[in-house]
């Protein structure tokens, strides 16, 4: 299904922009950004990651990576709009923005330029509080978004409690849980993604499902969203 959607995307010149935003650190933003970028590239889409985090985690990941793609560009947030426009003009089909935590102004800039936003959140009280702040700034620009639960334990009430909190906040919840799997951290340390490190593993399957979901949000019936006013 997603291959069909991605083929649809290639027939249209409008680049789509996915932003990964959370006001809480340590929730897996860079892991998700790089994994989804690799997933998109594997289906033939010209993809770039724009690293807005001063810690440059995505850029460091790329530096340790043997493959030269997907491209990862570390840029100051003030240049994001200009750089995205230039990327679209060169044929980029998917731009993935990796936004830093604790930086409200940068998050606003990322949200303003996004067609769809993923909000990674651990199933924990402090993360739910941070998610609330992230939802507030995302809704300022009325961009479609979804919360994706990360570092999920295999068992426990935390997930159900967090899902209830998300529902009470009126936020959409991605139908995919990213569990606390060793493949994610080991892959990130070696410039790989989970699906490259362990192609037949459970982490790879979770990324595939998240990519399929994100692809649908970006390329099905949303061609007019990215006006970026």
What b/e readout covers 21-46, taking b as 16+ CB neighbours within 10 angstroms?
Answer: bbbbeebbbbbbbbbbbbbbbbbebb
The CB-side HSE value for 150 (13 A sphere, CA atoms) comes to 27
pLDDT of residue 215: 95
pLDDT of residue 227: 35
Domain annotation covers residue 225: no
Which of 149, 20, 145 has its CA nearest to residue 95?
20
Task: Starting at the earlier edge strand, list the strands of the sheet with 71-74.
Answer: 71-74, 47-51, 94-98, 16-20, 116-121, 145-152, 173-179
Residues in CB range of 122: below 8 A, 6 or more apart: 24, 26, 27, 149, 150, 151
Bridge partners of residue 116, in order along the sequence: 18
Domain annotation covers residue 208: yes
Condensed to tens digits (0 to 9), the pLDDT of residues 82-96 reads 999 999 999 999 999
Condensed to tens digits (0 to 9), the pLDDT of residues 161-203 reads 999 999 999 999 999 999 999 999 999 999 999 999 999 999 9
Domain annotation covers residue 149: yes
* Domain, as residue range, for 24: 2-218
Domain annotation covers residue 228: no
Q: What is the CATH number of the domain that holds 89?
A: 3.40.50.300
Please tell me whether residue 182 adopts helix, strand or coil conformation: helix
Domain annotation covers residue 30: yes
Domain annotation covers residue 226: no
How wide is the angle at C-alpha 92 spanned by C-alphas 91 and 93, nearest 5°? Answer: 110
In the chain, the number of structural domains is 1
Domain annotation covers residue 224: no
Please tell me whether residue 178 adopts helix, strand or coil conformation: strand
Helices (H), the chain: 2-10, 29-42, 57-63, 80-89, 104-112, 125-140, 158-168, 182-189, 194-197, 202-219
Confidence tier at 10 by pLDDT (50, 70, 90): very low
Residue 46, pLDDT > 50, answer yes
Q: To the nearest whole number, what is the mean pLDDT of the chain?
A: 89
Confidence tier at 20 by pLDDT (50, 70, 90): very high
Condensed to tens digits (0 to 9), the pLDDT of residues 101-129 reads 988 899 999 999 999 999 999 998 888 88
pLDDT of residue 228: 38
Residue where the block lists tokens 């490259």: 196
Q: Which of 17-21, 97-101, 164-168, 224-228 has the lowest mean pLDDT?
A: 224-228
Query: Residue range 10-21: average pLDDT?
Result: 79
CB 177 within 8 A of CB 149: yes
pLDDT of residue 155: 80
pLDDT of residue 222: 44
**Peptide bond connecting 135 to the previous residue in cis, omega within 30 degrees of 0:** no
Domain annotation covers residue 229: no
Cα–Cα distance, 110 to 115 (Å, whole number): 10
Query: Residue range 71-87: average pLDDT?
Result: 96
């Amino acid at each position: 299904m997603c291959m069909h959607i991605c083929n649809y995307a290639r027939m249209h010149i409008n680049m789509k922009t996915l932003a990964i935003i959370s006001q809480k650190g340590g929730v897996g933003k860079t892991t998700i950004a790089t994994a989804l970028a690799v997933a998109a590239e594997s289906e033939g889409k010209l993809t770039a990651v724009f690293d807005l985090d001063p810690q440059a985690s995505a850029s460091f990941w790329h530096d340790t990576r043997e493959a030269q793609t997907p491209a990862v560009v570390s840029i100051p947030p003030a240049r994001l709009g200009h750089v995205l426009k230039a990327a679209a003009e060169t044929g980029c089909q998917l731009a993935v923005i990796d936004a830093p935590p604790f930086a409200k102004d940068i998050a606003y800039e990322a949200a303003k330029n996004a067609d769809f936003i993923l909000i990674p959140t651990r199933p924990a009280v402090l993360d739910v509080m941070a998610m609330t702040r992230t939802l507030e700034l995302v809704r300022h620009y009325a961009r479609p978004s979804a919360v994706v639960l990360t570092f999920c334990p295999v068992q426990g009430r935390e997930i159900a409690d967090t899902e209830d909190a998300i529902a009470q906040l009126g936020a959409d919840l991605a139908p995919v849980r990213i569990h606390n799997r060793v493949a994610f951290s080991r892959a990130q340390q070696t410039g790989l993604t989970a699906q490259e490190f362990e192609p037949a593993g459970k982490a790879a399957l979770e990324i595939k499902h998240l990519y399929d979901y994100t692809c649908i949000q970006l390329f099905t019936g949303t061609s007019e969203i990215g006006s970026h006013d």
